[in-house]
């Protein structure tokens, strides 16, 4: 049986590239940019006034002038008014374009105006003040955003200002989420006393939708060897990623591993030295196909999703590599088996800027309702058995909000 870090390495070595697509810039939030974006003009594109007031030539102030006759008013969006001389100024508004040798803006708060003449009443005045110089942030043709960055609201705004209304972003794989097990019925059905409703697939679906904008297909397989085999063969044609849950342990009707191999999926590993999630099965098919066959226990599915599937997905989508996250264990934990143990924790931020992780007590790994009260899995390495309060350990936060 391989270790957690071996499993992680194998999975990440099978990261794939699903290409590029164009999306309207407003829909690109959260996607990974797949092109460099250049400034189509200088940024700012002109000497841009940043305060409302008057604009003068600094040289006139320097030579002692404090009174300036207002010759005109220039609003933002007006063509620049050029004419200025030693005794004159323009009244000018935030966002307007300076021109010629007008180079210094004195805000209303620092002048007094009477009879069309502005008097400076608050000094000193600095050369070039309150003007955001053309090209000060970026020169035309310079790169403002590079490929490989994740797009956030500031990128959306920058795309708008350089006129990119369509952006090239990394394309997501086609994903199918497959439940299995004859004891499972639909959410809207009333289960028989020995049946339960399907549930854990929906959490995977919701995470993919909300955090990656991926609408995965959802399907269910009965415990029927023939159907499983033909469906799995079909999935390999229609999807890039197959996320199965259930049917991968030692049960008599756990046909999934055989069906995967019989239909040409290349087994990369089966079973990982971890709890929960030991029976995890991982394989690949064709050029770009991967199969995550996750154990059916809801906590196992949820853990494997966060520990393995999402990091693979993020790597394949070209996300910049994220540094590991750590938290301070809030309570001693003892765990005997030589397995990496994932406990559910509630996170809190201390006023000393530390991240604290308090174990959520429950009825064991099968108790899915614990997850409602936890924020993350905390990873307890297999090499040790006792973990002390105050130790710093790695966490995998749930993709919640």
Tell which residue, 134, 137, 171, 127, has the closest CA to residue 313: 171
Considering only residues 262 to 281 of the shown chain, the ones binding its own copies according to CB under 8 A are none
Q: Whole-angstrom Cα distance, residue 114 to residue 117? A: 5
* Options 197-205, 234-242, 282-290, 333-341: segment touching its own copies (CB under 8 A): 197-205
Is residue 72 at the binding interface for its own copies, with CB under 8 A as the rule? no
For residue 139, the minimal CB distance to its own copies (Å) is: 12
Stretch that binds its own copies, among 103-111, 113-121, 261-269, 381-389 (CB under 8 A): 103-111
Cβ atoms of residues 344 and 359 within 8 Å: yes
- CB closer to its own copies, 224 vs 266: 224
Tell me if 114 contacts its own copies by CB under 8 A: no
The span from the CA of 35 to the CA of 144, in Å, is 11
Work out how close the CB of 202 gets to its own copies at its nearest, in angstroms, rounded to a whole number: 5
C-alpha closest to that of 97 among 45, 57, 162: 45
Shortest Cβ distance from residue 62 to its own copies (Å)? 23
For position 388 contacting its own copies by CB under 8 A, the verdict is no
What residues from 302 to 331 belong to the interface with its own copies (CB under 8 A)? 302, 323-328
Q: Which of residues 16-45 bind its own copies (CB under 8 A)?
A: 25-26, 29-30, 41, 43-45
Report the residue number, 60 or 375, with the smaller CB distance to its own copies. 375
Give the nearest distance from C-beta 109 to its own copies in angstroms.
8
Select from 5-13, 170-178, 183-191, 265-273 the region that touches its own copies (CB under 8 A): 183-191
The C-alpha atoms of residue 163 and residue 25 are separated, in whole angstroms, by 10
206 binds its own copies (CB under 8 A): yes
The only residue of 210, 234, 334, 384 in contact with its own copies, by rule CB under 8 A? 210
Report helix, strand or coil for 203. Answer: helix
CA 358 vs. chain centroid, Å, equals 25
Cβ contacts of 396 within 8 Å, gap of 6 or more: 306, 307, 325, 342, 376, 377, 379
* Positions 238 through 267 that interact with its own copies (CB under 8 A): 246, 249-254
Q: Which is nearer to its own copies, 142 or 238 (CB)?
A: 142
Residues 333-362 that bind its own copies (CB under 8 A): 348-356, 362
What b/e readout covers 373-391, taking b as 16+ CB neighbours within 10 angstroms? ebbbbbbbebeeeebeeeb
- Which residue, among 45, 313, 39, 29, has the nearest Cα to 167 in the 3D structure? 29
């Amino acid at each position: 049986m391989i270790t957690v870090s071996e499993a992680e390495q194998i999975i990440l070595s099978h990261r794939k590239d699903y290409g590029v697509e164009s999306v309207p810039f407003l829909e690109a939030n959260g996607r990974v940019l797949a092109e460099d974006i250049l400034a189509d003009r200088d940024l700012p594109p002109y000497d841009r006034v940043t305060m409302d007031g008057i604009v003068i030539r600094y040289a006139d102030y320097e030579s002692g002038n404090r009174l300036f006759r207002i010759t005109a008013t220039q609003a933002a969006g007006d063509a620049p008014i050029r004419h200025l001389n030693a005794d004159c100024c323009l009244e000018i508004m935030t966002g307007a374009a300076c021109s010629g040798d007008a180079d210094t803006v004195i805000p209303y708060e620092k002048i007094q105006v009477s009879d069309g003449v502005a008097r400076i009443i608050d000094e000193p005045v600095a050369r070039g003040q309150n003007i955001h110089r053309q090209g000060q942030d970026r020169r035309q043709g310079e790169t403002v955003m590079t490929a490989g960055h994740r797009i956030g609201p500031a990128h959306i705004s920058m795309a708008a200002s350089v006129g990119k209304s369509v952006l090239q972003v990394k394309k997501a794989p086609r994903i199918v989420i497959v439940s299995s097990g004859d004891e499972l019925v639909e959410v809207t059905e009333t289960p028989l006393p020995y049946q339960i409703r399907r549930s854990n697939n929906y959490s995977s679906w919701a995470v993919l939708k909300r955090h990656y904008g991926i609408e995965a297909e959802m399907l269910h397989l009965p415990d029927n060897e023939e159907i499983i085999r033909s469906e799995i063969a079909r999935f390999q044609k229609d999807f890039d990623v197959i996320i199965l849950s259930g049917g991968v342990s030692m049960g008599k009707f756990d046909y999934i591993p055989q069906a995967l191999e019989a239909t040409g999926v290349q087994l990369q590993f089966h079973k990982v030295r971890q709890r929960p999630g030991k029976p995890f099965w991982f394989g690949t098919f064709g050029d770009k196909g991967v199969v995550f066959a996750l154990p059916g226990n809801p906590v196992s599915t949820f853990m494997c999703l966060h520990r393995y599937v999402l990091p693979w997905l993020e790597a394949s989508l070209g996300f910049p590599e994220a540094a590991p996250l750590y938290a301070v264990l809030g309570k001693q934990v003892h765990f005997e088996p030589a397995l990496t143990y994932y406990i559910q924790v509630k996170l809190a931020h201390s006023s000393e800027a530390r991240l604290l992780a308090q174990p959520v007590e429950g009825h064991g790994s099968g108790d899915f309702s614990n997850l409602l009260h936890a924020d993350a899995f905390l990873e307890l390495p297999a090499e040790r058995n006792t973990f002390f309060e105050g130790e710093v350990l790695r966490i995998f936060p749930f993709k919640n909000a």
